[in-house]
């Protein structure tokens, strides 16, 4: 059986102390060039790589980052985590992925598990950080976690938790949507989807109200319907809208999944998209581009959001002091699901 090479073997063959080998591995500048060269030759000879426990002892870091997210099946989270993993690897970190399945008890379990695994920091997405009213027990739990490792919230926050936050400008994205619909001569606009009490819906709906008011557009409360964030919710909410006496010329959806459900239902009733009704999504998941007729949506800028979240966490891990809050710009992507209103006498020219 092949003997595993240890730091002590490297030290013995190099005729130096184990602490000197440690300093070479950590890039300590106090090692003489000739000594460093001699140690590196032995390391290369045996292709020596310290295991994770040894790395933790040497570097005082595990080089692992924990990621807690609510639903890996949702394209928003899977696309974002993919960008995070790539950035973490680029910076020399591996990731420990925890899918809480939208269960706060699972979030609590994973927080403790990540601490037990001695991760260097945690990226937290969705779940408790998207609740409009923070649960006191979860607040205490999060603060306890942050006393042990750095934590960065992504697109969320908690009352009485002083975490670093990296988020996208969802309000600006909603303003862009209403500006587009205004320029397309739409004056009868609905807002569908999202659970009450979830901050991502609240932020978008508040921006929807502000943008509509800015354009002096009437807000019809009957056309503002809450539900969930999935395709089935979009289908159900679209049916509710169609049973009303009056219908909008444009529907703004809380995300692209809801928009897909809305489009499916409208097409079942022989309503043409976008000739009869324009439909706008949010998040710009990969399906938005390919689901006919192509969904106009707001991109969350996944590359930049994921990279900045990881960079912020790594800076905290390394004892630096990054900005407390970063806001990543969003961008409206116009596709085939929206167009100019044609021959609508109710439109002001």
pLDDT 10s digits, 93-107? 999 999 999 999 999
pTM for the predicted model, two decimal places = 0.82
What are the structural domain ranges in the chain? 7-59, 64-168+301-329, 170-300
Beta bridge partners of 65: 95, 121
pLDDT for residue 218? 96
- 170-300 architecture in CATH? 3-Layer(aba) Sandwich (3.40)
Query: Rounded mean pLDDT of 326-335?
Result: 98
Domain 64-168+301-329, CATH: 3.40.50.2300
pLDDT for residue 43? 82
Residue 206 and residue 130: Cα distance in Å, rounded? 15
Using a pLDDT cut of 90, give the percent of the chain over it. 78
Residue 172 and residue 170: Cα distance in Å, rounded? 5
Kind of pairing between the strands at 331-333 and 297-299: antiparallel
- pLDDT class of 39 with cuts at 50, 70, 90: confident
pLDDT for residue 1? 44
Residue 156 contacts residue 123 (beta carbons within 8 Å): no
Q: Write the CA distances from 256 to 7, 110, 118, 192, integer angstroms.
A: 53, 29, 37, 11
Query: For 114-145, how does the pLDDT look when each residue is reduced to its tens digit (9 = 90+)?
Result: 999 889 999 999 999 999 999 999 999 999 99
Judged by average pLDDT, the poorest of 30-39, 168-177, 268-277, 323-332 is 30-39
Query: Rounded mean pLDDT of 228-233?
Result: 96
Could you check whether 64-168+301-329 and 170-300 share the same CATH topology? yes
Q: Which option is the CATH number for 7-59: 1.10.260.40, 3.40.50.10800, 1.10.10.1100, 3.40.50.720?
A: 1.10.260.40
């Amino acid at each position: 059986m092949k003997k595993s090479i240890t730091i002590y073997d490297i030290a013995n063959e190099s005729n130096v102390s184990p602490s000197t080998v440690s300093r070479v591995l950590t890039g300590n500048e106090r090692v003489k060039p000739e000594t460093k060269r001699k140690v590196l030759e032995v390391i290369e000879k045996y292709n020596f790589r310290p295991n994770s426990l040894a790395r933790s002892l040497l570097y005082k870091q595990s080089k692992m980052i924990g990621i807690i997210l609510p639903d890996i099946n949702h394209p928003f989270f899977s696309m974002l985590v993919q960008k995070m993993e790539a950035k973490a690897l680029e910076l020399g970190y591996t990731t420990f992925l925890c899918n809480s399945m939208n269960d706060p008890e699972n979030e609590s379990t994973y927080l403790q598990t990540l601490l037990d695994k001695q991760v260097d920091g945690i990226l937290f997405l969705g779940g408790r950080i998207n609740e409009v009213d923070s649960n006191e027990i979860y607040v205490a739990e999060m603060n306890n976690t942050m006393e042990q490792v750095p934590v960065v919230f992504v697109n969320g926050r908690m009352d009485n938790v002083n975490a670093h936050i990296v988020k996208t400008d969802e309000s600006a994205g909603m303003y862009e949507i209403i500006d587009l619909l205004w320029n397309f001569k739409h004056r009868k606009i609905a807002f569908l989807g999202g659970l009450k009490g979830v901050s991502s819906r609240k932020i978008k709906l508040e921006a929807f109200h502000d943008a509509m008011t800015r354009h002096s557009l009437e807000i019809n409360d009957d056309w503002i319907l809450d539900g969930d964030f999935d395709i089935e919710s979009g289908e159900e909410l679209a049916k509710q809208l169609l049973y009303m006496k009056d219908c909008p010329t444009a529907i703004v959806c809380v995300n692209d999944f809801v928009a897909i459900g809305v489009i499916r239902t409208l097409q079942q009733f022989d309503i043409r998209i976008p000739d009869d009704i324009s439909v706008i999504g949010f998040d710009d998941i990969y399906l938005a581009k390919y689901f006919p007729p192509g969904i106009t949506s707001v991109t969350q800028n996944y590359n930049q959001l994921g990279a900045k979240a990881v960079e912020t966490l790594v800076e905290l891990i390394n004892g630096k002091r990054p900005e407390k809050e970063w806001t990543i710009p969003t961008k409206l992507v116009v596709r085939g699901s929206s167009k100019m209103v044609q021959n609508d006498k109710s439109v002001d020219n």
